[in-house]
Amino acid sequence: MKAIVTPVALLIAATALAATPAMAGCNSSPAQGVDWSGCYKERLIIKGQDLTGANLSKTFLAGTTFAGSTLNDVNFTGAEIIRVSFRETKLEKANFQFAYGSRTTFRKADLKSADFRKAELQRTNFSGANMQSVNMAKGDFYRAIFDGASLDDVNFDRTNLSRSSFKGASLKNVDFDRTFLYKAHLEGTDLTGVKNLTQDQIDIACGDKTTRLPAGLTMPAKWPCEE
């Protein structure tokens, strides 16, 4: 008797075949160039691994740690990054465009030339990180910590940095064009080498007598701020 293949059976078979590569990718071990795009990789412990060039776009990474790993050129576009640890991780030229989440740490990470444009990563810890030439334009980094970080040549164009902290950070040639600095902590910070910083921005930020301002800007009478 000849088997009858119905349209429904063909659709089910096609769906299964289409899903196979994705499942195989999500089950792959961490390695250079691994494709975990769109996968759930939450609560993993990945330490000291080399994932250079990996694709983690739109990947769910809540609670995962990459501490001490090499993630240069990794694509995190649109990834969900909640309480993830990138502590002391190499992330040169990593792409975090449109990534979103909160309470993630990049402490002492190497983020040179990384791309955070339009990322929404609130309450993130970048303390002590190398962030030279990072692009953070149009991002949302509410209550981020940049204490002691190297931010030379960073682009903060139209970025939300309200209530963020920059104590002891290096800010040479940083672009603050239209950056929102409401209650940003600038105590003890040297701003003499930044670009496009205005008096209006300084007036809503928080500093003290140890804050060094660019020529033409003056310390607001309300400094230091009352919290």
Q: How many CB atoms lie within 10 A of CB 23?
A: 10
DSSP class of residue 80 equals E
Residue 24: predicted pLDDT: 46
Band of residue 153 on the pLDDT scale cut at 50, 70, 90 = very high
* CA dihedral (19, 24, 26, 27) positive or negative: positive
Domain ranges of the chain: 36-110, 126-222
pTM confidence score? 0.88
* Rounded Cα–Cα distance for residues 98 and 117 (Å): 7
**CB of 169 within 8 A of CB of 189?**
yes
Kind and range of the H or E element at 82?
strand 80-82
Band of residue 25 on the pLDDT scale cut at 50, 70, 90 = confident
Q: Which two tokens stand for residue 121?
A: 């990563």
Q: Is the pLDDT of residue 27 over 80?
A: yes
Band of residue 226 on the pLDDT scale cut at 50, 70, 90 = confident
Kind and range of the H or E element at 120?
strand 120-122
Q: Which CATH superfamily is domain 36-110 in?
A: E3 ubiquitin-protein ligase SopA (2.160.20.80)
**CB of 57 within 8 A of CB of 77?**
yes
* Rounded Cα–Cα distance for residues 218 and 183 (Å): 16
DSSP class of residue 207 equals -
DSSP string, 21-76: HHHHHHTPPS-TT-B-TT-B-TT-B--S-B-TT-B-TT-B-TT-B-TT-B-TT-B-
What confidence tens digit (pLDDT) does each residue in 135-150 have?
999 999 999 999 999 9
Instruction: Check if CATH label 2.40.50.140 holds for domain 126-222.
Output: no
Residue 16: predicted pLDDT: 42
* Rounded Cα–Cα distance for residues 117 and 140 (Å): 9
Residue 227: predicted pLDDT: 67
What confidence tens digit (pLDDT) does each residue in 161-200 have?
999 999 999 999 999 999 999 999 999 999 999 999 999 9
What confidence tens digit (pLDDT) does each residue in 57-107 have?
999 999 999 999 999 999 999 999 999 999 999 999 999 999 999 999 999
What confidence tens digit (pLDDT) does each residue in 110-126 have?
999 999 999 999 999 99
Residue 23: predicted pLDDT: 44
* Rounded Cα–Cα distance for residues 198 and 185 (Å): 16
Matching fold, domains 36-110 and 126-222: yes
Give, in degrees to the nearest 5, the angle at Cα 95 between 91 and 122.
Answer: 85
Q: Is the pLDDT of residue 39 over 60?
A: yes
Which residues, 6 or more positions from 188, have their beta carbon under 8 angstroms from its beta carbon?
A: 167, 168, 208, 210, 211
* Rounded Cα–Cα distance for residues 150 and 142 (Å): 19
Residue 54: predicted pLDDT: 98
**CB of 84 within 8 A of CB of 103?**
no
